[in-house]
Amino acid sequence: MAQWWGQFTGRTHATAIADAEALLAHAIEAYKTATDETQTAKAKAVVRLAKRLLTARRRPLRAKLKDSQAISETADATELQRLEEGGVAAILEEFGCLEALSAATSVQRPSNT
């Protein structure tokens, strides 16, 4: 019988999604209460954690679709397509923090002149 690292740890796709959602919710709270000096850094963290949640939500859908014969006809394929189209913006909108995306991307970089 094959054994692998983490076999009976209880870590599943569902727990990874729950963990990522909890981390994102905590980061959004920190972003909303941050001062002006730290708000940009917190916004970047919120966007990074939203990307992590998007990846965590994709994994179980892709695993199910891998086993499915008629990929285009399954509800999982529709859900995966919805995730792909919405992306990070849809996740941030779901959590009520879409402004973090614009705050994280509107940072002015110094010029090299």
> So where are the chain's domains?
13-105
This model's pTM is above 0.85:
no
Count of C-beta atoms within a 10 Å radius of residue 69? 6
State residue 70's pLDDT score: 53
- Residues of the chain short of pLDDT 50, as ranges, are 1, 108, 111, 113
Q: State the DSSP H helix or E strand holding residue 80, giving kind and residue range, or none if neither.
A: helix 75-94
Q: What pLDDT digit, counting tens, does each position of 62-86 carry?
A: 887 776 655 556 677 788 888 888 9
State residue 113's pLDDT score: 47
State residue 30's pLDDT score: 95
Q: What is the DSSP letter of 71?
A: G
Pick from 88, 104, 93, 89: nearest CA to 31: 104
State residue 2's pLDDT score: 58
Output the CA torsion 49→52→53→55 (10° steps): 160
